Structure 1
Amino acid sequence: MKNLLLFCALVCTAFANAQVDVNLLIHHTFDGQTSVLNTPGFTRNNEEIKITRVQYYVTRISVIHDGNQETAISDDTVALINVEDGISTTIELGEVNATNLEGVKFHIGVYSPVNSGNPSLYPQGHPLAPHNPSMHWGWAAGYRFVAFEGVAGTNFSQLWQFHGLGDANYFETQDLMTATTTINGVETFEINADYKSALNGLYVSQGLISHGDNGEAKKVLQNFSNSVFYPTAIASTEDVTTPATELVVFPNPSTNGNVNITATKEISTLYVYDAKGQIISEVNLENQKETQIQLKDKGVYFIKVLDIDGVLTTRKLIY
């Protein structure tokens, strides 16, 4: 009898979850704009810049599901993100044994010992094969984890460059907790990457070049891991076809916790999430276009509005 019960338990566990095809979709932005490269914008230090190059590796991805369980995606899933290729990048994660998909996280860079391998051994077109411009630093140091470049200063005459690398700087992102959206029949984690945040704490108006595994280059890698990426969706089971509402959140960053929110379409519901993806406030606005919120604690938040057409729009907020 005990053996029968054990067998039933094992069978029930095996069939509790199902194989789900999953993708990761990264939307590229600069200060809320979908046009990232060669577009004037301002850093958090109010320096006007243009970004000319954004390339980085995404590896060792994990899917969070069914009560914070983690499933690691195969190490063979290596993505070289190049913002020049388009306004978004899709990474196919394959099938995951899960019932409730809850979030995703990943590393920036190339893991050891692959990082010290020979790029010429990979077939042409592979993310780890030689590229132009090069993403490989050298035999000892390995790959550039991030290549982030642009111009600043008067008439954009000052060049700035950050090439971050090094096994010690193989950083993992925070848990990006978000429900999936069904896109072309595949459960898809949608996240935003705001490359403005990659320059947090850095000044580039006089020009700045940092290549290597320390200093400002390391700071950029840290910013990529903890500030650049944030989730875009709360929940959706339909393919997304309606454009998002234009949403202004100001001041951002907020110095006193008071934040004004203005939208181009009427807002049905306003959500405020903390950095861990936990909801801290939900307000029915009865189709208003403007409102104000008061934050108590300093930190990173995500403002999400559901408009009258049922479209969800997200903005990152810092206090």
Structure 2
Amino acid sequence: MKTNIFKLALIAMITILASCSNDDEMNNELTGTNDLVIEFDNGVNGDDLILGASSYINSNGESLKIDRFNYVVSNFVLIDAEGNEYVYPKNESYFVISEEAGETEVILKDIPARKYTAIKFGIGVDQKKYQQGAEGQGDFLSIAEAHNMMWSWQAGYKFLNFEGQFTSASVTEATNFKVHMGSHGSSLDNYKEVNLDLNTQALVSSELSPIVHLMVDANKVLDGQHKIKLSEKAVVMVDEVKSPQVAENLTGMFLVDHVHNGDASGH
């Protein structure tokens, strides 16, 4: 009996040592830099988002056909298993996600090799960036203009451009709606930050280039923490009450679906 117990203990010890060795080998393999890709899979309350075609009914009793769903994401930060943060270079960290243009992917380049367990990013353009003036925006200013994400330089960026048609119990004919949200001077700063834990470590190395798949629920724009009825106001732009509510709703749009750890040649 003692011999069997000794054998079992020996096997357990060998297994633990082998596991530690494998972890060490994995850590040793994570060297160099590579891309980390974030895919934004836009949907509506669990369904695919099909612009201009499908109707979606929210809990406000409104039926929406969505023609445009564009938003700005920015200031990406990657957090590794030890809690260390890698801040992506600020001047390269502004992107427009546009369903109509088919631009739903962010590629973060030259990321240091690590095991990443969480990400942070902003929705919109922070005041510090905007206050650098038009000359300080780099290429992003023209990108935003090309995707209808500017009112004007003086008025600022649109963080969200959400448009389409709706009907409701009180609005029976199809009516256009527009929800444009951004910051309006220093008095109404609607820039928000999103923090997401990854359900699988994103492994970056010279050989590994992971893809983080995010599910994005456009239904949350109006039907999130705050319930915003288009039947009460179909055009929401510079609104001291509803604009901050939309901004808060957007923070609840994002959910990590899965992480794919692929090789550098084709993810």
**Same topology, TM > 0.5:** yes
The alpha carbon displacement at 1:41 in A equals 0.8
221, 225, 246: which is aligned to 1:220?
A: 246
The alpha carbon displacement at 1:72 in A equals 1.0
Alignment of 1:231 onto 2:256: yes
125, 141, 146: which is aligned to 1:128?
A: 141
Q: Measure, in 1, the Cα distance between the counterparts of 2:100 and 2:68.
A: 7
Q: Measure, in 1, the Cα distance between the counterparts of 2:161 and 2:260.
A: 34
Q: Measure, in 2, the Cα distance between the counterparts of 1:215 and 1:19.
A: 48
Larger radius of gyration: 2
Q: Give, as a single letter, the amino acid of the residue that structure 2 aligns with 1:134.
A: N
In structure 1, the residue matched to 2:97 is 81
Structure with the higher strand share, 1 or 2: 1
Q: Give, as a single letter, the amino acid of the residue that structure 2 aligns with 1:23.
A: V
Alpha carbons of 1:149 and 1:131: their partners in 2 closer, same or farther (altered >3 Å)? same
The alpha carbon displacement at 1:122 in A equals 6.5
In structure 1, the residue matched to 2:79 is 64
Alignment of 1:161 onto 2:178: yes
Structure with the higher helix share, 1 or 2: 2
Q: Measure, in 1, the Cα distance between the counterparts of 2:262 and 2:191.
A: 36
Alpha carbons of 1:213 and 1:202: their partners in 2 closer, same or farther (altered >3 Å)? closer
Asked whether the 8 Å contact 2:211–2:261 carries over to 1, the reply is no
Show structure 1 runs of 5+ residues with no match. Answer: 1-14, 240-319
Alpha carbons of 1:116 and 1:161: their partners in 2 closer, same or farther (altered >3 Å)? farther
Show structure 2 runs of 5+ residues with no match. Answer: 1-27
Asked whether the 8 Å contact 2:39–2:214 carries over to 1, the reply is yes
In structure 2, the residue matched to 1:307 is none
For residues 98-177 of structure 1, the aligned pairs below 5 Å read 98-116=113-131, 119=134, 126-129=139-142, 131-132=145-146, 134-153=148-167, 157-166=174-183, 168-177=189-198
50, 60, 65: which is aligned to 1:36?
A: 50
For residues 86-101 of structure 1, the aligned pairs below 5 Å read 86=102, 89-101=104-116
Alpha carbons of 1:155 and 1:67: their partners in 2 closer, same or farther (altered >3 Å)? farther
Q: Give, as a single letter, the amino acid of the residue that structure 1 aligns with 2:194.
A: T
The alpha carbon displacement at 1:29 in A equals 1.1
Pairwise CA RMSD: 3.0
Secondary structure class of the residue paired with 1:232: strand
The alpha carbon displacement at 1:74 in A equals 1.0
Alpha carbons of 1:104 and 1:66: their partners in 2 closer, same or farther (altered >3 Å)? same
Q: Can you list the C-alpha shifts for 1:29-61, whole angstroms capped at 9, x where unaligned?
A: 122232331221112323211111111111101
Q: Measure, in 2, the Cα distance between the counterparts of 1:138 and 1:177.
A: 37
Asked whether the 8 Å contact 2:208–2:262 carries over to 1, the reply is no
Secondary structure class of the residue paired with 2:51: coil
Alpha carbons of 1:49 and 1:149: their partners in 2 closer, same or farther (altered >3 Å)? same
In structure 2, the residue matched to 1:51 is 66
Matched length: 220
Q: TM-score, normalised to structure 1's length?
A: 0.60
Secondary structure class of the residue paired with 1:188: strand
235, 243, 258: which is aligned to 1:209?
A: 235
Q: Can you list the C-alpha shifts for 1:177-224, whole angstroms capped at 9, x where unaligned?
A: 332678x96211111111011112111245521112632222122111
The alpha carbon displacement at 1:91 in A equals 0.8
212, 215, 221: which is aligned to 1:192?
A: 215
Alpha carbons of 1:151 and 1:207: their partners in 2 closer, same or farther (altered >3 Å)? farther
In structure 1, the residue matched to 2:13 is none
Q: Measure, in 2, the Cα distance between the counterparts of 1:114 and 1:224.
A: 20
Asked whether the 8 Å contact 1:148–1:162 carries over to 2, the reply is yes
Secondary structure class of the residue paired with 1:218: helix
Asked whether the 8 Å contact 1:65–1:101 carries over to 2, the reply is yes
Q: Measure, in 1, the Cα distance between the counterparts of 2:74 and 2:222.
A: 22
Q: Measure, in 2, the Cα distance between the counterparts of 1:54 and 1:192.
A: 14
Q: TM-score, normalised to structure 2's length?
A: 0.71
Alpha carbons of 1:117 and 1:140: their partners in 2 closer, same or farther (altered >3 Å)? farther
Greater shift, 37-46 or 204-213, is seen at 204-213
The alpha carbon displacement at 1:82 in A equals 1.0
Q: Measure, in 2, the Cα distance between the counterparts of 1:19 and 1:221.
A: 37
